[in-house]
Amino acid sequence: MNYDTYKDRVYGCWLGKMIAGNIGGPLEDCREIMDFQSLHEIAPEEMMVNDDLDVQLIWLNVLLEKGWELTSDDLMEAFIAHYPYGPNEYGYGKRNYRRGINPPLSGTYANEFFMYSMGCPIRAEIWASLFPFYPEKAVEYSYMDGCIDHGAESIYAEQYTAAIECLAFSFTELTVILEYGLAFIPEESRIAGVVRTCLAWYREGCTWKESVTELHDTYASNDSSISFYNFGVEILALLYGEGKFEETVLLAINGGYDTDCTAATVGAFLGAWKGTEAVPDEWKETIEDRIVTACVNLKTEFHTLSELTDTICSLGCLYDGEKKRIIRNVPEKKDDIFFESGEKAAFITIDYEGLPEIGLHDSCTVLVAVKNNSKDEQYLEVAGREAFEICPEGDTKDIAPGECRRLRFLIKYREASPVVYDTNLFFCKVYGKNGSLQEEACFGLAGKPVWRITGPFFNPYDFKKVSEEKRRAEEAYFKIPSRKIYRYYNLAEAHNNFVYLDEPYREEDFSGEGFLDLYRKGRLYEAAEDTVRIDEMFGFGGCCCVYCAQQMYSEREETVQCHIGSTTPYKLWLNGKLIYTQKNSNGYSPYTDVFKMDLKAGENRIVLKLLRYSEGQKFTMVMREAPYELSGRIKTDHAYGLWEEKADEAERG
């Protein structure tokens, strides 16, 4: 390919992404199939910032600084430093990384709801435009990118998107591109199934409306950014849009849900496929080559698409020049970027057996591998909080030059530990024979939230359907003189439990001694991945109520925003005061309820009254620091106390 053609395709890719994403922005999260007839009905008057572009500007900065050998950790550190927003999977991935849970687990741990969202498939263009003739390389970087805050299927969606955008530089037949792209992701993946299904509907002669309706019924969810549905919307828009910009973007938007992402991706594909001519002139005029971004403190800033394109093309030519030299007629100084490289004295890799979390009464095994690249022997040390015992299984000393030694470390709390910290960092340090530090790495374990559980409680009779007064009037009780025991009113009542949020199953004054009594008498429960599941507490089946007491330590007085996800009703008390009641039963989302709560510096006493109606009950709670919502960090500097002696002393005093 001629350099000028390559440059035009790269510019077209980003031009299409910015324009189409901006048009789709106002309808983001609209969860219905729509029937707009023209983009002019939708398009905003001004360019808006969009994470679809912003994050990729950060990735380009990382590449300019680190070179081809950049890592997922490099991307995440830059993501935290230069992008202040943290909604959904962005926030959970960043939270995990601050806890020392590195990629790829940063993308999946305690991120079940969002790990298959669209946050990483929208970041594929940077890799496609850098490596258009090397799709396997674009796919490799897409994994490195996607795993920082997503799980497998969303990563496959990013890899597939990068692959077909690469192929668009070389192939003219759309269905060939879409089918060939499947070679770069697992055949059995659900994302691959979405592509095959969309192609089948198109070839069977289904209309777009028929196809997108079936897609919605098969793949949509209460997560408006779920990748399966939104990814399918993109494939259908490309197929039924027949290569025309306005028609394709309009179909992507009419599919609803994550409309800025779907529109931006199809716009980018068309630009990569057909160059700048893919975008009608009237839409080009809406941006005038400008870039609008929310990134902060970037070392290399890009104010125009022309600047962005020049930098990407220089890097693309550099890589191509090192490989096959497919790009011809490259101008001088278009492949003159050089990266500094340095050999590390040791490589350290870290993995976990099981989840990256720890509770008071269990342990975690961490696998540490050290590759000695020096000419002298090395030794390894792993250190963390004094509260932990760190027991290596194997010799950590005398690691010979060239040797790769794999060691297991068993980590557990010492018996006397009174506190479980949310964040627990451990440091792996490799020293040379003379004691000089040669390399280090950090990993973390999330502390399981500690609760004290009282229950289960339930009603054996459905007093809401048949009142106690009516039962008495009808003498619906056993004739036992000493006490009145009701008969079951019918078979339905005989084979069920009943539970009511407003019924006090015990004293509900949780100030002072009331909390201490509840806490001291409760059984210990540690919530894996921050999730409270009554099914895990005991073998009791059926509807029930439990009271969960927690002592949480905050480093400072602050107002936080509480994000609660719950499938069932609950009440929440903080420091003796009832602060929130949810009486409805909803589908699960981490944002079932969002409200502010005032934490004291030091100990805070939390009580949760939680109902279970059936299997599948789930409750999660995280706290965001100011400024909350989109840009507030999820809190990671708190701890959970087991101050039983302190509680006893307070009660006696």
Lowest mean per-residue pLDDT among 333-347, 412-426, 493-507: 333-347
**Among residues 446, 473, 488, which one ends one of the domains?**
446
pLDDT at 653: 40
In this structure, is residue 578 part of a structural domain?
A: yes
pLDDT of 338 > 60? The answer is no
pLDDT tens digits, 493-524: 878 889 999 999 999 999 999 999 999 999 99
In this structure, is residue 643 part of a structural domain?
A: yes
pLDDT tens digits, 246-266: 999 999 999 999 999 999 999
In this structure, is residue 338 part of a structural domain?
A: no
245 and 311, same structural domain? Answer: yes
What length does the chain have? 653
pLDDT at 339: 60
pLDDT tens digits, 164-175: 999 999 999 999
Range of the domain at 374: 346-446
315 and 395, same structural domain? Answer: no
H helices within 275-417, ranges in order? Answer: 281-284, 305-322
505 and 366, same structural domain? Answer: no
Domains held by the chain: number? 3
Residue 478, helix vs strand vs coil: coil
pLDDT at 545: 98
442 and 377, same structural domain? Answer: yes
Q: What is the CA radius of gyration of the chain?
A: 29
**Which of 21, 15, 9 shows the shortest CA–CA distance to 273?**
9
pLDDT of 466 > 60? The answer is yes
What's the CATH code of the domain at 295?
1.10.4080.10
155 and 216, same structural domain? Answer: yes
- Burial status of residue 453 (CB atoms within 10 A of its CB: 0-12, 13-18, 19 or more): buried
57 and 181, same structural domain? Answer: yes
What's the CATH code of the domain at 437?
2.60.40.10
pLDDT at 307: 97
In this structure, is residue 249 part of a structural domain?
A: yes
Residue 315, helix vs strand vs coil: helix
pLDDT tens digits, 529-574: 999 999 999 999 999 999 999 999 999 999 999 999 999 999 999 9
pLDDT tens digits, 190-233: 999 999 999 999 999 999 999 999 999 999 999 999 999 999 99
**Among residues 258, 290, 322, which one ends one of the domains?**
322
In this structure, is residue 340 part of a structural domain?
A: no
Average pLDDT, the chain: 94
DSSP string, 570-605: EEEEETTEEEEEE-S-----TTSEEEEEEEPSEEEE
- Nearest-angstrom CA–CA distance, 18 and 125: 11
pLDDT at 81: 96
pLDDT of 449 > 90? The answer is yes
298 and 190, same structural domain? Answer: yes
244 and 375, same structural domain? Answer: no
Decide: 166 and 132 in contact? Cβ < 8 Å: yes
- In this prediction, residues 347-361 reach a mean pLDDT of 95
In this structure, is residue 477 part of a structural domain?
A: no
- In this prediction, residues 238-242 reach a mean pLDDT of 98
353 and 288, same structural domain? Answer: no
**Among residues 446, 478, 505, which one ends one of the domains?**
446
- Nearest-angstrom CA–CA distance, 138 and 181: 12
pLDDT at 645: 43
pLDDT of 483 > 90? The answer is no
pLDDT of 650 > 50? The answer is no
pLDDT at 546: 98
pLDDT at 336: 57
How many other CB atoms sit within 10 Å of the CB of residue 71? 13
Decide: 82 and 297 in contact? Cβ < 8 Å: yes
48 and 9, same structural domain? Answer: yes
Residue of 336 and 536 predicted with greater confidence: 536
In this structure, is residue 239 part of a structural domain?
A: yes
In this structure, is residue 96 part of a structural domain?
A: yes
DSSP string, 105-149: GGGTTT-TTTTTBTTTGGG-HHHHHHSTT-HHHHHHHHHHHHTTT
What's the CATH code of the domain at 454?
2.60.120
pTM recorded for the entire structure = 0.94
DSSP string, 499-511: --TTS-SS----S
Name residue 454's beta-bridge partners.
547
Name residue 168's beta-bridge partners.
none
pLDDT at 646: 46
256 and 372, same structural domain? Answer: no
149 and 71, same structural domain? Answer: yes
Name residue 370's beta-bridge partners.
348, 405
pLDDT tens digits, 130-149: 999 999 999 999 999 999 99
pLDDT of 30 > 70? The answer is yes
Query: pLDDT confidence of 57, banded at 50, 70, 90?
Result: very high
578: which 2 tokens? 């009832």
427: which 2 tokens? 């440091």
Each as own residue / partner, the long-range contacts of residues 534-543 (CB below 8 Å, 24 or more positions apart, any chain) are: 534/456, 534/610, 534/612, 534/617, 535/612, 535/615, 535/617, 537/453, 537/455, 538/456, 540/456, 542/458, 542/496, 542/497, 543/458, 543/496, 543/497, 543/498, 543/499, 543/611, 543/612, 543/613, 543/614
- Nearest-angstrom CA–CA distance, 206 and 112: 34
